[in-house]
Every structure is written in structure tokens, then in C-alpha cells.
Amino acid sequence: MERAVVVGASLAGMRAAETLRAEGFAGSITVVGDEHHVPYDRPPLSKQLLTGEWEPDRLTLAAARRDDLDLTWARGVAATGLDLGARTVALADGRALPFDGLVIATGAAPRWIPGTRGRPGVHVVRTLDDATALAAALATAERVVVVGAGFIGAEVAASCRARGLAVTLVEPLAQPLARVLGEPVGAVVADVHREHGVDVRLGVGVASIATGPDGGPVVALDDGSTVAADAVVVGIGVIPATGWLEGSGLTLDDGVVCDATTLAAPGVVAAGDVARWPNEAFGGEVMRVEHWEHAIDMGGHAARRLLAGDGPGEAYRPVPWFWSDQYDRKLHLAGRVRPDDRFGVVAGSLDERRFTALYGRDGRVVGAFAMNMPARVIRYRAAIADGLGWDDALADAC
């Protein structure tokens, strides 16, 4: 391999580029990214950047400052197509970049409520531009409606409360985060937000968003009520950024489908939020993971897989790990959980809002979640990787 191309100049792509060099790759590495910014970190976008604690330049990824990586940049230009036969990536500026090895790391884009994209006062938070536009709007806002109480929505609600704004958090499910963590944990998260003054509206969706007489958005809920706001933030999930790969011959199904080693086609790997692969640590469950650490780890693994060439390559089999900060609560999750998994609290209590809970399936522990008990999640993460049984875990909590 002489020419590597990385599409997606963010966490997974930059780690892939770093790893190629760390493993001794001396050929060319071209990094393509459709954003104009120097690659940056996303987690602070819904936290320190929104509260005003951090300035944008603090978000720059360390790898983006490393001249020794000897990267060729194509920044501010989107990849528009992939020709697997000719082994080229088409760019929006008309160029066709030839490659011997390709890393796909285009991440994901936010879902919008239909008809609201571009409407004044309606925001999403995925990019630095999104977050700086929202922060500017919050500077003069008094009332914010956050639609969707997933991790991003819940963090945005907490950041807005830190700024002293009136916040309404709207969630169609019975509890925040219920689709990921189930209702018992979701109920605790809802209480934490209520205690911090958020108006939490559960089991109700958004019917429409109109523009009020003062020019601000007015959110009509499907229970017939309306909430006027100065800013609306939509946090209803993301869609993997695979549009540019349509018709390429790669298998696309809620992401770029890879084998267990991250290979999507000969000489083509995928990593981070955009990639789906069978994770052998979870019985080969085909998954796509939207976590910060995963993007880094999979980016590194995918680069090593490229360098392994025609060899079999190693399976990528992580126990995913995630954190979220909301007020003074630190949430940590290790594993892959579903709302219908078995559930048991093994330390602390839900009432104290400081606890560790386990999730189990088929006799195994598949996940550990903690609120303000991070060390335990790290211990359980290792135990989950070792195949910790459900009964053993409950008998002997670690």
C-alpha cells in the first residue's frame, strides 16, 4: 500500500491516520473532511462550549497539530462518491483521489423534525458551527425547548440550566434515555432534571414547530399544548453519513457494514459512528456504536486492519464505554444494553441518585451503568469482557 485516503477528519479518521504512521506506514495519507475547521472534539459541544466555560480553540484534536504525521489535507471539501473498481474517491471540487487503502470515518448527521431544518430558532448540536450558533442564540434567550431526552438532549438541558435559562425537555418515551437504559434509570434521570428546575414533559411528542408573533419558535405538542421559546434544540438521534457511498457496491444498512475485523471491502475499512460490524464480544451482535472512545479505538483498529492487507486481520471486539455529564451527575455505561435486559442495582441506590446497576441477558452480564460511581463501571467493563455470569455478579458484586 502506498496511498492511504481517510474520509472524515474527526476522531476516528484522525486516530486512523495517527495509527498508520505509528505502525510505520511511510506512504501518503490524504485526509478529506467536509468541515472547514481544524479537527476538533465533539463532547464539549453540548457541555463546556454551551455553558461558555470553554472557547472553541480548546477543542482542537491533538493529532491535528502534529506536523510529523505528514498529512495531506483536503479540508472543507466533501467526498461525493467511491469507485471501488477504479479505486478512487470523488470530491465535491471535481477531483478523484486515487487510493490503495481507504478509511471511511464520516460519522453521523443529526436527524431533524421534518420541515424544521433552517427554521429560525431551531437548532441541532453535532458540529462546532451548530454549537457556536446555539451558544450565540442562548446569550440572548430566556426560554429553551429541548426535544428529545437522549444523552445529547439531556446534556443540552443541563447546560441551559447552568446558564439560568428556563428549560422544557420534551420526550415521547415514558422516561429519558428509556430506549437505552430502561425506565428505572430513566426515571432517576428525569428526577435529576426536575430537581434542577427543568420542566420535564414525558410521553408526549412534537406535532409541529411554528413561528410565533415575536419571530421565536412555538412548539406544538401532540397532547394539544404549546410551548413558546426563544430557541428549540432538537436532539432526536443521528443518521450515519453514508449518502456519498450510495451505489458504490459497499453494503449500507444503517451504516457501512463491515466484517468482524472492520473490513468493508478489500482495502476499505470503516470506523467510528458510521461503521456497523459483528462484535464477537457480544456473540457477533451486529452493532453501530456512537461513543467517543469507540471512535478512537475502532479508528486505530481499522488502520491496523488496512496494513494487514490480504491477511485475515484481527477481530475488533470491544466492550463499549460511554460517559455523560449532567449537572453534578456523572453517568457511565459499559457494555451493550437493551431496555428489556434483566436489571439489578448492585451498589448505592436509585433514591440516592448514586448507584451502580447491571444489565443481563442469556445468563451473562451485558452492561454496567453507574451514576457518580465511575470506578465500578471500569471494573465491570473488564469483567464483562471476561464473560461475567449474571448469577455470579449478583452473588459477588465487585
Q: Please report, as ranges, the residues that interact with ligand FAD according to CB under 6 A.
A: 7-13, 32-35, 42-43, 45-46, 78-79, 105-108, 125-126, 152, 241, 244, 272-274, 290-293, 295, 322-324
CB of residue 127 to ligand FAD, shortest distance in Å:
7
Helical (H) or strand (E) element with 257: strand 256-257
Half-sphere exposure for 12 (CA within 13 Å, toward CB): 28
Q: Which is nearer to ligand FAD, 21 or 364 (CB)?
A: 21
Q: Under a CB-based contact definition with an 8 Å cutoff, are residues 259 and 291 in contact?
A: no
The minimum distance between CB 209 and ligand FAD, in angstroms, equals 21
Q: How far is CA 110 from the centre of its chain?
A: 10
> Closest distance between ligand FAD and the C-beta of residue 103, in Å?
10
Closest separation in Å from C-beta 225 to ligand FAD: 28
List, edge to edge, every strand of the sheet that includes 275-279: 256-257, 275-279, 285-287
Indicate the residue among 43 and 335 with the shorter CB distance to ligand FAD: 43
Pick from 85, 83, 109, 81: nearest CA to 93: 81
Nearer to ligand FAD by C-beta: 12 or 357?
12
Separation between Cα atoms, residue 387 and residue 161, nearest integer Å:
41
Residue with cell 457494555: 335
Q: How far is the CB of 146 from ligand FAD (least distance, A)?
A: 13
Pick the closer one to ligand FAD by CB: 4 or 78.
78
Q: Please, what is the minimum distance in Å from the beta carbon of residue 222 to ligand FAD? A: 26
Burial of 379 (0-12, 13-18, 19+ CB in 10 A): middle
Q: Which is nearer to ligand FAD, 8 or 186 (CB)?
A: 8
- Decide whether 228 or 323 has the Cβ nearer to ligand FAD: 323
Residue 326 makes CB contacts below 8 A (sequence gap 6+) with: 154, 155, 157, 158, 189, 192, 193
